[in-house]
Amino acid sequence: MSGHFLAAAVRPGSTSALRQVEPRLLVKFELDNAGASHKVRAARHIVRCAVETGEIIPGRTTVIEKTGGNFGLGLLLACADINVPVELAVGLSFSPIKRRFLELSGARLIGVDQLQAGATPREVVEWHLANATALGKSYFYTDQFNNPGSVVAHEYETGPEIVDQLKAFDGLRSLTFVSCAGTGAHLTGITRALRRAGLAVDVTLVEPAGCDSRNSVFVSHRFEGMAVGVNPPLLDWGLVTHTVQVDYAAMFEAQQRFATAHGYLVGNTSAACLAVALELADRAKGSHKVLTIAYDHGLWYA
């Protein structure tokens, strides 16, 4: 994996809107990004850096990753113009519509037989890397869970974008950032950027009921993208002030409320964060505001 993850290499794509949806609640609409989530930023940065270092050679290299979908969609977008094929190991329990969309967008979904026989997506990737020569492939494994490029992308692209957008809110000095963690990359990167800009930011980490990622306690849940079965390797736990668990009913209520009020059916991780953010925003005082993220669309999971 590359050590070349310079902030200078971050080149933003388009900007997603930051909207004040309640008097004290701000939502960053990452679901409107091309690639349909915040993950496209990490994928784009990692691919760009690997091309610059020569670890990806267009026309020769194949990018490989295990992903529930959003990071994969980002990889496809990042690789579309540079003649780099993308192979993805997607767990069979993940959103079937997303799997179809990944294929429509040009991904090769690998290891379906292996997954059906009980292999994990990680084992599928490892098998392909081990057999690359026999398969005639030269792989670059983006390794999203261990790739610091994801944090850099959010620290120097998403975070500064939000800082810039916050200038529209006169007198805003303090924020509660309500967020969740899969890899932990966006929570870490965005929080660092907000604090570097001089804002007083406390962070509430949202987890599915029964999960405690810090202590690697996981139960099965339907909030695809957060609490994915490992202590988030890119999460700087020192940044997290509070942790709140949300159950399916509370998530669903927030999802309905947001759809009714704003016309967006957001995904389950976004709605779980909204469940907490709406409550905290109701209790906020003075110029303090709550910030959360609409990560992706809910139709993927319908």
| Of residues 7-46, those binding ligand PLP (CB under 6 A) | 37, 39
Compute the distance between CA of residue 82 and CA of residue 56 in angstroms, rounded to an integer: 10
Assigned token pair, 112 = 């379906």
Assigned token pair, 133 = 């020569």
Lookup result for tokens 């309500």: 178
* Complete DSSP assignment for 243-274: EEEE-HHHHHHHHHHHHHHHS--B-HHHHHHH
- Stretch 139-178: interaction string toward ligand PLP, x if CB under 6 A: ----------------------------------------
Q: How far is CA 7 from CA 71, 233, 236, 299, in A?
A: 20, 20, 18, 34
Residue number, nearest CB to ligand PLP? 225
- Spatial neighbors of 220 by CB under 8 A, at least 6 apart, are none
- Stretch 68-107: interaction string toward ligand PLP, x if CB under 6 A: --xx------------------------------------
Contact between 295 and ligand PLP by CB under 6 A: the answer reads: yes
Closest CB 249 distance from ligand PLP, rounded Å: 19
Closest CB 106 distance from ligand PLP, rounded Å: 19
Closest CB 13 distance from ligand PLP, rounded Å: 16
Question: Residues binding ligand PLP: what is the number (CB under 6 A)?
Answer: 17
Closest CB 25 distance from ligand PLP, rounded Å: 18
Compute the distance between CA of residue 220 and CA of residue 215 in angstroms, rounded to an integer: 16
Instruction: Single out the segment in contact with ligand PLP by CB under 6 A; choices: 52-60, 168-176, 182-190, 250-258.
Output: 182-190
Contact between 185 and ligand PLP by CB under 6 A: the answer reads: yes
Closest CB 6 distance from ligand PLP, rounded Å: 20
Residue 90 gets which letter from DSSP?
A: -
Compute the distance between CA of residue 39 and CA of residue 213 in angstroms, rounded to an integer: 20
Compute the distance between CA of residue 27 and CA of residue 290 in angstroms, rounded to an integer: 8
Out of 28, 41, 45, 186, the only residue in the binding site for ligand PLP (CB under 6 A) is 186
> What are the residues facing 242 on neighbouring strands?
204
Compute the distance between CA of residue 3 and CA of residue 183 in angstroms, rounded to an integer: 18
Instruction: Single out the segment in contact with ligand PLP by CB under 6 A; choices: 54-62, 85-93, 123-131, 183-191.
Output: 183-191
CB atoms within 10 A of CB 174: 13
- By beta-carbon proximity to ligand PLP, the closer residue of 61 and 87 is 87
What are the residues binding ligand PLP (CB under 6 A)?
37, 39, 70-71, 180-186, 225-226, 267, 269, 295-296
